[in-house]
Amino acid sequence: MSARLLATLCLVFGSVPAISAPSAGSADNTLVVYLKTGTQQQTAPVDEMKREVGVLMAQAGYQVEWRSVGSQSGDSSDAAMLAVLELNGACGIAPGYRATEAPQVSTKSLATTAVSDGQVLPFSQLNCTALTRSVSAALAQTAGAQRDFLYGRAMARVVAHELYHVLMRTTEHARGGVARSCFTTADLLTERFEFEGATLASLRTRLEPAPPVESSEIADDAAVRQ
């Protein structure tokens, strides 16, 4: 893997028309993620991605529930936290794949999350073409099951990064860990790469219910309106 690629695998934001984001202030810790994939998507890396995202988000107190786009299973009408994730490109490295076969891409961005008028929206895309290009040299000679495991774990770290932006509704990044602005190939493939402590604390505040309004405050507000 070249030093240039190692240093510049970043995540960016894109602008879209305004759409309502999930509401805040609920004590419910379930995050429902609707997943959109292509028909030719490999199963094993996606399954590992789901598992690892669950582990990373559980550290901050979240339970991730996965659903397919268009699925009628479950009732998300009262879900406090929703996100939509689209997988673009083939997510995985097929048997016999050679690093030199990696398609040339015009961007090194691994993922994007939509922003409208400065507001982060719950719509993210994972660029598997860029991800494959970034890890192919390191994984090309790895056995199939282990390759799928490592690729899926790399996917999860990028997805967890985007979920951080969605949940915290911020375009800001942390200084380290999964919420940092750029990933190296080592970050994607190393044994441990998680949210740093300060980021976990911020994510946990998202689960705290809004403080109750005192009755005296309601009375005072009514008096003002009169």
pLDDT, position 80 = 83
pTM for this model (two decimals):
0.80
pLDDT, position 208 = 83
Residue linked to tokens 């028309």: 17
Q: Which CATH class is domain 3-225?
A: alpha beta
Query: Does the CA dihedral 120-134-178-10 come out positive or negative?
Result: negative
pLDDT digit string (tens) for 46-62? 999 999 999 999 999 99
pLDDT, position 209 = 76
Which residues partner with 14 through β-bridges? 114
Judged against a pLDDT cut of 50, whether residue 70 lies above it is answered with yes
Is the CB of residue 34 less than 8 Å from the CB of residue 64? no
pLDDT digit string (tens) for 80-112? 899 999 999 999 988 766 655 544 444 468 999
pLDDT, position 72 = 56
pLDDT band at residue 20, thresholds of 50, 70 and 90?
very low
pLDDT, position 132 = 93
pLDDT, position 66 = 97
- Per-domain boundaries in the chain: 3-225
pLDDT: which is higher, 143 or 204: 204
